[in-house]
């Protein structure tokens, strides 16, 4: 809904409308949600295991809207969108780059089952893990800048850090926090280190 709304309106008009035309913006979000619900109902008829929802809500240091604005404008519509999926026990893989740690509990409350990716440089990983408390899986968590540039010993250290913060108790899908064309050696280092450090129980953590 967030991305669809600003794509329809233009980014500048979208952000201005929170202040100048809040009622109209809420109506637009409601109609976008209705459109999404129709798609999700078709997915349920087909028998999918889950859905992928792309909504880039964050930048490197925070959200593009305040948590209060998210709760007023978006959370009710997300909850309505996901209601039937939640009822049927489907996976809701919610993609948002940037710093989203301030709305983790809100995402859980609307039915999100996977937060994807957990951007390593933008979020406090320990805080996100604590807020999830086993209620939402976390995907990513490995710094893509490091995976791009190396060196390999730092990549191994980053993998161990990600696992130590996000894996205890389960619910962690390890991977890069961005999809980029990494050097093969660096990608292989990630997976070898993940296999080495990621076996339960995490006796070394």
**pLDDT tens across 169-205, in order?**
999 999 999 888 899 999 999 999 999 998 877 765 5
Q: Give pLDDT, residue 204.
A: 54
Given a cut of 70, whether residue 56 has pLDDT beyond it is yes
Give the model confidence (pLDDT) of 102-117 as tens digits: 999 999 999 999 999 9
Mean pLDDT computed over 49-78: 96
Mean pLDDT computed over 16-37: 98
Give the model confidence (pLDDT) of 149-164 as tens digits: 999 999 999 999 999 9
Secondary structure in 3-state letters for the chain: CHHHHHHHHCHHHHHHHHHHCHHHHHHHHHHHHHHHHHHHHHHHHHCCCEEEEECCCEECCEECCCHHHHHHHHHHHHHHHHHHHHHCCCEEEEECCCCCHHHHHHHHHHCCCEEEEECCCCCCHHHHHHHHCCCCEEEEEECHHHHHHCCHHHHHHHHHHHHHHHCCCCCEEEEECCCCCCCHHHHHHHHHHHHHHCCCCCCCC
Q: Give pLDDT, residue 20.
A: 98
Q: What's the pTM value of the predicted model, to 2 decimals? A: 0.92
* Average of per-residue pLDDT values in the chain: 95
Mean pLDDT computed over 9-19: 96
């Amino acid at each position: 809904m967030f991305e669809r709304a600003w794509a329809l309106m233009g980014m500048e008009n979208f952000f201005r409308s929170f202040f100048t035309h809040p009622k109209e913006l809420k109506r637009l979000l409601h109609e976008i949600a209705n459109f999404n619900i129709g798609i999700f109902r078709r997915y349920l008829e087909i028998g999918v295991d889950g859905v992928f929802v792309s909504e880039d809500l964050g930048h490197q240091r925070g959200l593009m809207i305040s948590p209060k604005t998210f709760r007023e404008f978006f959370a009710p519509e997300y909850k309505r969108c996901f209601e039937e999926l939640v009822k049927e026990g489907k996976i809701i893989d919610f993609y948002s780059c940037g710093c989203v740690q301030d709305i983790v509990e809100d995402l859980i409350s609307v039915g999100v089952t996977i937060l994807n990716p957990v951007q390593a440089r933008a979020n406090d990983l320990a805080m996100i893990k604590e807020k999830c408390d086993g209620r939402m899986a976390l995907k990513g968590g490995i710094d893509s800048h490091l995976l791009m540039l190396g060196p390999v010993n730092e990549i191994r250290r980053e993998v161990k850090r990600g696992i130590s913060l996000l894996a205890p108790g389960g619910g962690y899908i390890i991977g890069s926090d961005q999809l980029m064309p990494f050097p093969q050696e660096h990608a292989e280092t990630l997976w070898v280190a993940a296999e080495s450090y990621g076996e339960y129980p995490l006796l070394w953590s």
